Structure 1
Amino acid sequence: MQGQSARGNCLSSTSEKAAIEIQGVSRYYGHDPYKVTALENIHLAIRENEFFTLLGPSGCGKTTLLRLIAGFDFPSAGAILLYGENIAPLPPFKRPVNTVFQSYALFPHMTVAENIGFGLKMLGKPKEEMQARVEEMLSLVHMVPMRDRQVSQISGGQQQRVALARALAPKPKVLLLDEPLSALDYKLRKEMQIELKRVQAETGITFVFVTHDQEEALTMSDRIAVMSSGSVRQVGTPREIYDRPADRFVADFIGESNFLSASVLQRHGATAEVRLSNGAVIEAALPAMQADRDAITIVIRPEHAALTPAGGGTFDGILTDAIYFGTDTHYHLTLDDGTAFIVREQNSRADRLLHDKGARVGVQLGQAAAQILGAE
């Protein structure tokens, strides 16, 4: 899941200048005693030219925050700044932002080119300028051969490209994308992830992307804000979020994780010596904000562990299942203290000895495999 991405293999052109600043934004619905909190005191800075993702489960507040930036809703408290100007009081049509919706909202009676030019027409752009911009957008999203087709005559992926081109045509300073890939099948969704990244890189426009798909967020983003229950739990690059989750929620939501109880024996620098429940002593990385506490929880990603013969690793357990995923196999174990644990090992083309279910096996941890989680 961690995988290499097009984003991770190139240098980012993101500037440090903030395009959007979310300053103490809250959104409440209703009144006491029936008040519902959708967002609570959100602080975020989204950089210019950045592909920024709001990631979290359903109901966490990510779409609400996107709607506040778009102007479809208004904050109960706080300010939303676009290049230093507070846009929170402005209606949507007075904000230099545009939105690509999950449903695309294309006009079925119009051609591809007419859909792309619709916003420009509503802005009263001269005909020659509008035609030139439509041709530019058709080329950008690789839809020139489809320009005269009705949108009902093109595929879902092509409709997504048209919706993207229409939103980009008026040259917004920020493009908001509300789970635009969720209706596509897996293979097409993967292709469109690459296309969205290409378009964002070519246009240099700040993208704010909403998704509940962790793999999608890790693949596409410059930075990610992980949200839960109306608050932001962690902001960081995909690698920071995956390798150094701030707390148990982030570690559990992003990918697969193993959680073990432990106690701190000694702290030294950025790591600590900890004792597991089975008595094994290992080194674990300390979180950035580490409270002075002895009883802790450590997280270990499944790919940072390997199976060994019983007694030959850090701890032992019983193999309860082995799930083949093509590129790798996930081994599910029950450790001696009853804790569930997953080991993920890559498969090679050569035949390899698979462990039998019910067998007693050992688990060997890789270097820097364990991290102590911050307090919730």
Structure 2
Amino acid sequence: MIEISGLTKTFGAGASAFLALDDINVEIRQNEFFTLLGPSGCGKTTLLRSIAGFVDPTSGSLTIEGQDVLALPPYARPVNTVFQNYALFPHMTVAENIGFGLEMQDRPKAEIKSVVDDMLELVQMTAMADRMTSQISGGQQQRVALARALAPKPKVLLLDEPLSALDFKLRKEMQIELKRLQSETGITFVFVTHDQEEALTMSDRIAVMSAGRILQIGGPKDIYDHPAERFVADFIGDTNFLDARIESVEGDTALLKLGSGNTIAARAVQGGATSGAVTLAVRPEHTTLTKDSALIDGVLENIVYFGTDTHYHVTLHGGSAFVVRKQNQPNIPEAFSIGETVGVQFNAGVGQVLRD
């Protein structure tokens, strides 16, 4: 659906120039929920606005369904955008907001009514068709903005952090709703967020961005379980980092020696180091706390109860911090005490050797 090659965007010139997009290369598939994920200032919104036509790239190419669109103005591109603030018209009803884009295209009134009715049903807002947008909740306004963007049946729907203004519970509900809408309409969604949970919950694929570059692209499970770089591992989920040395590499498995002197097998990264010092990433939920000596040892500094699970904060011998996460079970007393010496154990293959 979308093919981007060598896309670069520089704002300003000379000493004050800022490289917002640095040689972006990505293909976004038809009928895909594709997410651009990264911290503020990483370039994800600039990339989205480049697809929409609101930003003119400095160099590179961008095609939609094989058509070069860089010379086209925003209104001539087969895309629609849902903005962070929704940008609804307060003097119009819900139905009038949804039909506005169709009216601008001079569609017949009967067609507009039919499409609006379909969109109201799709976003489950039929009963509120005649209400003013000032009379509905934030979540309902978000649904109206989605329906208005979907009504002209664009090839691509661009969503710029549309859930950020919603409260936690409503945001969770809308994550499921967005994925349902994408699946039912068959439209390619390109979604921008800094929220890792949103990205993991909804996406078919995720592009993790930092400093204007795409660091890794993959499905949610692949990105979470197999981060290739330290930034990706650190940004998505909680991660422990251990210093280690590679003893040997065979295929996609590396044998590592930890700082404790113990050895363990871990997943190697294609194109990564085959010898020398490396960083090993281990997710807290893949580890176990024990009272016996283990792969690594340390002192239990804190115990944090989260309801669904408990986090054990350990200071390892050598001074680095490590977190063990255990899912809570009912009526089982706490087995560990703050200040005691504990061991941390994890199985071979759960750790990921990171690329420099």
TM-score (norm 2): 0.99
- Please name the residue that 2:67 is paired with: 85
Amino acid at match of 1:68: S
Does the aligned pair in 1 maintain the 2:206–2:219 contact within 8 Å?
yes
- Distance (whole Å) between structure 2 residues aligned to residue 337 and residue 310 of structure 1: 18
- Please name the residue that 1:343 is paired with: 324
- Please name the residue that 1:317 is paired with: 298
- Distance (whole Å) between structure 2 residues aligned to residue 164 and residue 367 of structure 1: 46
- Distance (whole Å) between structure 2 residues aligned to residue 78 and residue 225 of structure 1: 19
Q: CA deviation at 1:54?
A: 0.1
- Distance (whole Å) between structure 2 residues aligned to residue 360 and residue 143 of structure 1: 58
Amino acid at match of 1:158: Q
- Please name the residue that 1:8 is paired with: none
Does the aligned pair in 2 maintain the 1:175–1:206 contact within 8 Å?
yes
- Distance (whole Å) between structure 1 residues aligned to residue 273 and residue 286 of structure 2: 25
Q: CA deviation at 1:364?
A: 1.0
Does the aligned pair in 2 maintain the 1:278–1:337 contact within 8 Å?
no
- Please name the residue that 1:104 is paired with: 86
Amino acid at match of 2:68: N
Percent identity among equivalent residues?
61
| Residue-by-residue CA offset, 1:273-295 (whole Å, 9 max, x unaligned) | 11011101111110122233311
| Residue-by-residue CA offset, 1:55-104 (whole Å, 9 max, x unaligned) | 00000000000000000111000011001111011100100100000000
State how 1:122-137 maps to structure 2 within 5 Å.
122-137=104-119
Does the aligned pair in 1 maintain the 2:264–2:348 contact within 8 Å?
no
- Runs of at least 4 residues off by over 4 Å: none
Does the aligned pair in 1 maintain the 2:266–2:348 contact within 8 Å?
no
Q: CA deviation at 1:269?
A: 2.1
- Distance (whole Å) between structure 1 residues aligned to residue 16 and residue 84 of structure 2: 30
Does the aligned pair in 1 maintain the 2:21–2:212 contact within 8 Å?
yes
Q: Which moved more, 1:259-268 or 1:208-217?
A: 259-268
| Residue-by-residue CA offset, 1:310-340 (whole Å, 9 max, x unaligned) | 31x2121101111111100111100011110
Does the aligned pair in 2 maintain the 1:81–1:87 contact within 8 Å?
yes
Q: CA deviation at 1:27?
A: 0.3
Q: Which moved more, 1:266-275 or 1:183-192?
A: 266-275
- Distance (whole Å) between structure 2 residues aligned to residue 164 and residue 354 of structure 1: 50
- Please name the residue that 1:57 is paired with: 39
Q: CA deviation at 1:367?
A: 4.0
- Please name the residue that 2:217 is paired with: 235
| Residue-by-residue CA offset, 1:22-43 (whole Å, 9 max, x unaligned) | 1100000111122110001100
- Please name the residue that 1:184 is paired with: 166
SS in 2 for 1:191: helix
Tell me the matched-pair count.
356
- Distance (whole Å) between structure 1 residues aligned to residue 133 and residue 251 of structure 2: 60
- Distance (whole Å) between structure 1 residues aligned to residue 218 and residue 153 of structure 2: 28
Q: Does 1:147 align with 2:129?
A: yes
Query: Please, which of 67, 70, 81 is the counterpart of residue 49 of structure 2?
Result: 67
Query: Please, which of 329, 338, 342 is the counterpart of residue 310 of structure 2?
Result: 329
Amino acid at match of 2:220: P
- Please name the residue that 1:308 is paired with: 290
SS in 1 for 2:10: strand
- Distance (whole Å) between structure 2 residues aligned to residue 112 and residue 196 of structure 1: 19
Query: Please, which of 246, 263, 268 is the counterpart of residue 228 of structure 2?
Result: 246
- Distance (whole Å) between structure 2 residues aligned to residue 350 and residue 121 of structure 1: 62
SS in 1 for 2:171: helix
Amino acid at match of 1:53: T
Does the aligned pair in 1 maintain the 2:37–2:199 contact within 8 Å?
yes
Q: Does 1:120 align with 2:102?
A: yes
SS in 2 for 1:33: helix
- Please name the residue that 1:9 is paired with: none
- Please name the residue that 1:218 is paired with: 200
Q: Does 1:257 align with 2:239?
A: yes
5+ residue gaps, structure 2: none
Amino acid at match of 2:236: I
Q: CA deviation at 1:366?
A: 2.7
- Distance (whole Å) between structure 1 residues aligned to residue 271 and residue 172 of structure 2: 36
Does the aligned pair in 2 maintain the 1:60–1:230 contact within 8 Å?
yes
- Distance (whole Å) between structure 2 residues aligned to residue 103 and residue 237 of structure 1: 28
- Distance (whole Å) between structure 2 residues aligned to residue 49 and residue 96 of structure 1: 14
TM-score (norm 1): 0.93
